[in-house]
Structures are given as structure tokens and as C-alpha cells.
A and B are shown apart, each in its own frame.
Chain A
Amino acid sequence: MELRIDRVTKNYGSKIACDRLSITFGKGVYGLLGANGAGKTTLMRMMCGILNPTSGTISYDGVDVSCEEYRDVLGYLPQDFGYYPEFTAQDFMMYIAALKGIPKSKAKVKTEELLEMVSLKNEAKKKIKTFSGGMKQRLGIAQAMLNDPKILVLDEPTAGLDPKERVRFRNIISRMGADRIILLSTHIVSDIEHIANTILVMKNGQLIHEGSLEEIIAVIRGKVWECTVPQKISDELTVKYPIINTRNVGDEVFLRLVCDEKPCDDAVNADATLEDLYLYYFSEEENDKS
């Protein structure tokens, strides 16, 4: 079971969305982390055969992404998806099952099983129109699993889920990751921190880190500092170092920042987290957006 992405590049005109990416996936859960526009969705769409790479190949055990056999073992949850307005949850599942080539009797059993898994069993006969965002998202997750996929690609699967649903989702994914390849993208670090065996960090179309949580965090271990300083010093530090977090404490300012050496006398070393790493890489972009 091996999904191989080999020197894949995707250009939109002069803009490079993915830049010579090479990744090999084996069984397990992979978390794809990156800011908006880092190329996560483009990569995932190429992995699902929706977009053609400008160059490079994607294959699963030697089967190219464009083949029917590849799609036969693929499940995909797009970032955003529509539905036909007359559909109930059950109709939706049965329709997708037909597209996946699943015979009707088998599809019925599978639909019931999956709707139960995502706690939509009682809503099976209700129109999707009446669903909340979280319910629709759960339905999207269920449809991706109809064909018992060996490759499961989920683009922002936790978007719209409430905290309780998130926990449930994480449990489902951990359980399913044992015998398939699961790739999920998110910009919410806590969603993948504990369920992904491998974390991939993407920036500007390139893969800048790949490894276990420990390995990834090692990059900034011992470089995360916290201090509470007067406004004036705070301003100086802000210019010099990447700031992860800041808040006002009375007259002074609390800072959490990344720095190779102690930035000021009363700074204390803090435990590095994935969140720190993420903000370290993406804070500028996030700030630009807001």
C-alpha cells in the first residue's frame, strides 16, 4: 500500500501552486498543515484526479491517478460541496454509492452503517436543506467512506464541526487509519496534533517539513521564549523576532516569541508546541490577510 507523489508541479499561468512535490504515503494518518493559499487544496485535488498536474505523476501501487481502479479505492471530501436540493441524507448516500459502482443492496447496508457512524441515523430521511453546517459536513465524511476507500483525502474535514463533533471525528479517523492512507488538511493545529502519525507542513507550494510531531517540533525546541516587558522593549522585540502570541498585562506586554538566544534578561524558555511552529511559519501571512 503505497501512494507516491513524484515531482508534482502545478502552475496556474505564472503562479506556481505546487512546486516539485515528492511525497510517499504508507498506511497511516497524515496531517497537512499550511496557511490558506499554501497549495493544500491544489495538492489534494491532484491526488484525487480532479486537476491534472502540470508535470509529475501520482500513483497508488503503480496505478495512475487517472485510472478507474485508482478512483475505486479513493474517498474524498472537498472543502466545499453542494447537493441536489431534493435530496435527503439517504438519497445523497445512495446516489454517491451508485456513482461509486456499489450495487443497491450493498449500498443500503453501507449507508445505514455510515449514517449511524456519523450520528445522522435519525436524520436519514430529512432533506439536506434543513441540515446545519456540522451535519452537512458529517454527511460529507460519510459519503467519502462509502466504498471503504484505501485512500481517504479530507480537505478541511473539521470545518463547521462543534467541539463534540470534533472529538468524535478524531476517534473515527484514528480507528480507520490502521489499514488505509488518510490525508487531512487543516489550518487548525489542534485537529491533527494528536491523530496524525505524520505531519506535513506546506508553504508557498512547497513541502517545508515532514515527520512525526516530535520531529517537526524539534525545529524550534528551546527557541520558544516567554517574557513580560514594557511597551518600549516589546516594540523592539516585535521588529526583531517572530512573535507567536502577545497580550497586554497591565502596563506591560506579554510576549511569546521564537528566538535562537535569550531575547531579554527576564525571558523564560517555554515548551514548544505544534501551534508555535505553525504560527512561526504562517503568522505573517495570517496577519496580512486580516
Chain B
Amino acid sequence: MEELTKTYDKIYRYCFYKVRNSAAAEDITQETFLKYFAQNPKIKRGEDMAYLYTITKNLCVDYFRKKQTEELHENYPAEEFSEMSDTKIAVRTAMEKLDERHREIILLRYIGGLSVSETAETVGISRFAEYRLEKAALNEMKKYLEGALWYEI
């Protein structure tokens, strides 16, 4: 698959997690690209992921400001729940239980699909700090999931 398509999907996933609406997520994704290319008319190198995500994050913030909706970290739309596996529900709950900082890192790293250094750059911390936070976040989630699912993780 083409590099750009992959990037599009990554950003779209991230946006969807943030705004919980596929149409809005796609709008933000496309706007991200347009902004990015408008600011880099020469496009000498490949995509600068950290920069792309910074644009996306700002656009998401704008989106919420416009909507004047408070903190949207409620669960995914309820009608989906009936078809969802226990694991899925548990993972989502685990995600919500994380604090803001940890959640952002897991979001960028595993849902957005960024590398360690790209995540670190987007959040604005060192690679080492990213690594430490990521590990802590994963451990916290595992701990919760062990309790919830009785899995040996």
C-alpha cells in the first residue's frame, strides 16, 4: 500500500478516537493534509509524522472548541456494544482509566501507529521519557485487564 494511504489511515484512526465520528474524523484528516502540504509546498522529504500529528491535534482542539462539547472521553457509541467482545470492551475501559498523559502516548503509539521517536517528538518529550511513560501505561492497562479478563498477561 502506498505510504500516503497508510499515513492517512493512521491519522484518521487517531482523529476517530478523539472525535468519535467518522465524518468529522475524515474532515480533520483531510484538513491536516491540506495544511501540511500548504506549509510545505516543496515537499522535499517524506512525511514528517510529528509535524502532521501536531497539526491534527490542533485541529481536534479546534473541533471541540467549535462544538463547545466538554471532554468527550465517554465510550464508543452504545449500539456497538452488543456486537463487541468482552476483550474489546475491557481494552477500551482500560484505555479510559489511564491518565491523560499516558493515554495520549498509547493513542499515538498503538492506535496512531507512530514510532517511539515520532511519539516523543509529537508529545514534546525525550525518547527516554516516552519509553518510560509508555511502559508504565502498558503495565497499568495490563494490570487492569488481568483483573477484568482473568488472563495471564
Chain A residues in the interface with B (C-beta under 8 A) = 68-69, 103, 105-106
Contact = CB atoms under 8 A, between A and B. Distances in A.
A103 B46 CA distance: 11
A68 B4 CA distance: 22
Interface string B125-146: 0000000000000000000000
Interface in B13-33: none
B79 interface: no
Interface of B: 1-4, 41-42
A103 to B, nearest CB: 7
B42 A69 contact: yes
Nearest to A68: B42
Contact of A103 (B3, B41, B42): B3
Nearest to A67: B42
A106 B2 CA distance: 8
Contacts of A69: 41-42
B2 A105 contact: yes
Contacts of B41: 69
The secondary-structure label for the interface of chain B is: loop
Given A69-B41, A69-B42, A105-B2, 4 more contacts: A68-B42, A103-B2, A103-B3, A106-B2
Contacts of A103: 2-4
Contacts of B1: 105
A106 B4 CA distance: 10
Contacts of B3: 103
A91 B15 CA distance: 40
Contacts of B42: 68-69
A69 B44 CA distance: 10
Nearest to A109: B2
Nearest to B46: A103
Nearest to B41: A69
A105 to B, nearest CB: 4
The 6 closest A-B pairs by CB, nearest first: A105-B2, A69-B42, A103-B2, A103-B3, A106-B2, A69-B41
Contacts of A106: 2
B115 to A, nearest CB: 21
A68 B43 CA distance: 11
Nearest to A69: B42
A105 B4 CA distance: 11
Nearest to B2: A105
Nearest to B3: A103
A44 B1 CA distance: 39
A286 to B, nearest CB: 46
A248 to B, nearest CB: 64
Nearest to A72: B42
A191 B44 CA distance: 39
A69 B42 CA distance: 7
B133 to A, nearest CB: 35
Nearest to A105: B2
A194 to B, nearest CB: 36
A233 B131 CA distance: 100
9 contacts: A68-B42, A69-B41, A69-B42, A103-B2, A103-B3, A103-B4, A105-B1, A105-B2, A106-B2
A204 B42 CA distance: 39
A106 B1 CA distance: 11
A91 B145 CA distance: 54
Nearest to A106: B2
Contacts of A68: 42
A282 to B, nearest CB: 43
A105 B41 CA distance: 21
A69 B4 CA distance: 21
